[in-house]
Amino acid sequence: MFNIDDLTQKLGRIDGLGYKAYKDIQGSYEAGDYFLFIDHVQADPYAPPSKIRLRLPMKKAGFPEYLYEGIRVIALEDNIARRVKTNIKENYSRDINIDAGQQQVLKRTAAKVTPDFVEVRMTVGLPAAGRRIQGREARNILCQALLEIARQSLVFNEGLEKHLAEFVYLYEDQDFIRENLAKLGLTAFVANGSVLPRKSGNSDLPMLEKDCVIFQSPASMEVEMETIHHGTIKGLGIPRGVSLIVGGGYHGKSTLLKSIERGVYNHIKGDGREWVITSPDAVKIRAEDGRKVEKVDIRYFIDNLPLGQDTREFSTANASGSTSQAANIVEAIEIGADLLLLDEDTSATNFMIRDARMQKLIAKEKEPITPFVDRVRPLYEKYGISAILVIGGAGDYLDTADHVIMLDVYRVYDVTNKAREVTQSVKSGRVQESQDEWLSSPERVIKRASLKFARGDRVKVSAKGLQTIMAGREIVDLGGIEQLLESSQTRAIAECLRYMEKYVDGQRTLKEVLNLICRDMNQDLAQVTLYKTGMHPGELAMPRRYELAAAINRLRILQIGLLV
């Protein structure tokens, strides 16, 4: 291992040379108590920035053990990355960056805390004039600025303790509530005092409290949730079963559902949704015209297609709204979903409802679709899969509901009894179309031929923003996956598409492969990159198994076999 003076001398020696001479500085350097690892040097000034790590032994960092025991370590690592980001923004060059969190707290690779050391992973754009090295500027960044950032961010002091304890305790309590939802017969919880609206349509920041209506549960649905560190919290408890969110347009229905959808993640203090907690196995379902579907049994929703097309192994390169929505549900259930979230606005009308008049005009034997209105109750009663639906115009869903929540000028009311009165006094006239068919859960196996893009180092798999992955020459469109929140998660999914080659053997089911990948990521998220490159990444955030499965299912080269 070199020392920091060696790095200074190298930078002086290559000053003014061609950019490729920067390769000489790759390696490890000791700088007093700190260690600087220059893992990867960019090939030219316009290539992705260089990757570095800064490490400080824990005996020097001094973080108390209680701050990083158990799941608290996820929160502490997230907080350290945020502190580094703040210090960079306030004091240093924009050429230095770290992948820090936004409103959600996620397991990340940007920071690593162990009993032995604290480490942060950053990127640095090495300076150049044209394609000539600017050694003096590089020395200021690598030998001075980075070390000062480390001193400000990686060393514990008593003034930080209260803030850090609040951060990790909040994360722990959010997880605690989520773990206890099922025991209490609930699918979701929304605390009184929550701020659900966002600042704007393209911002995830909370609206100012003076500009919005603060959430308050109706008394009839109010529950108390015990926490480890924050006492008792009161709010709306949405029970298992079928729950509708109704109300006029622009009264807050979709805002409530969106908050519940994001409640599968933990949030930072001040977000307004800190205590909006949802089942970890909740999946948002929507229509997704044009998506690839590969051998999914959608008979429960769609059967008896014209020309006798078999929907037990339904495949298409260009799904319609109804077939895509059916496939999305079956695929989510295949992986373990216990709560489906649907918004009428983003659903296929013919998948959601077929009213009495259309039933009289088009006989059932001529209609392949069994609408969701006829499946939503059996899904819960037979299979234990709950649903929360935003319904604005399809009143036939009132017949299916256990609970009906109404939004009126952003205030929440329990109108379950009134809804039952309506269903008694105003009959829908439609006929139940579902039979006692079994919801299929086929054992789907990924064929190894699907992974040709993962073989060989020259084939790239990379994320392009939040909604796109390039797998070789293939574009994987993730635009319909609404619970995917950060491009860092998309990058992790891209790495997983290559990493799953490790477990896809033509025998393991998709679910088994996902279980193994998620096990490895829970142990160390960096594994999915280390498997191929041997280099620590700093820009990955943990995706859920459902978003990873959705990406795999949207691979256009995906080939599936079925276990009989």
Task: Tell me the pLDDT tens digit for each residue of 167-177.
Answer: 999 999 999 99
Band (454; pLDDT cuts 50, 70, 90): low
Average pLDDT on 528-533 reads 82
Band (201; pLDDT cuts 50, 70, 90): confident
Sign of CA dihedral 496, 443, 278, 66: negative
Nearest alpha carbon to residue 330 among 306, 309, 299: 299
Task: Report whether pLDDT(299) > 70.
Answer: yes
Please state, in angstroms and rounded to a whole number, the distance separating the CA atoms of residues 350 and 561: 30
Strand (E) positions, 87-193? 96-97, 104-105, 111-113, 117-124, 128-129, 132-133, 186-191
Nearest alpha carbon to residue 400 among 383, 379, 414, 384: 379
Band (442; pLDDT cuts 50, 70, 90): confident
Please state, in angstroms and rounded to a whole number, the distance separating the CA atoms of residues 315 and 294: 4
Residues, the chain: 564
Share of residues in the chain with pLDDT > 90 (%): 88
Band (471; pLDDT cuts 50, 70, 90): confident
Extents of the domains making up the chain: 2-156, 179-241+260-277, 282-425, 443-563
Span 12-56, pLDDT tens digits? 999 999 999 999 999 999 999 999 999 999 999 999 999 999 999
Please state, in angstroms and rounded to a whole number, the distance separating the CA atoms of residues 440 and 454: 31
Nearest alpha carbon to residue 393 among 321, 326, 344, 434: 344
Task: Report whether pLDDT(459) > 70.
Answer: no
Q: Using the 8-state DSSP alphabet, how is residue 66 labeled?
A: G
Mean pLDDT in the chain?
A: 94
Among 288-292, 310-314, 400-404, where is mean pLDDT lowest? 310-314
Strand (E) positions, 318-437? 339-343, 386-390, 403-408, 411-414
User: Is residue 168 exposed (0-12), middle (13-18) or buried (19+ Cβ within 10 Å)?
Assistant: buried
What is the per-residue pLDDT for 453? 66
Please state, in angstroms and rounded to a whole number, the distance separating the CA atoms of residues 109 and 8: 28
CA distances from 201 to 65, 88, 204, 255 (A): 41, 28, 8, 11
Average pLDDT on 317-340 reads 97
Band (451; pLDDT cuts 50, 70, 90): confident
What is the per-residue pLDDT for 563? 84
Average pLDDT on 450-476 reads 80
Average pLDDT on 551-564 reads 91
Task: Report whether pLDDT(564) > 70.
Answer: no
Band (455; pLDDT cuts 50, 70, 90): low
The label of the residue with tokens 């489906």 reads 340
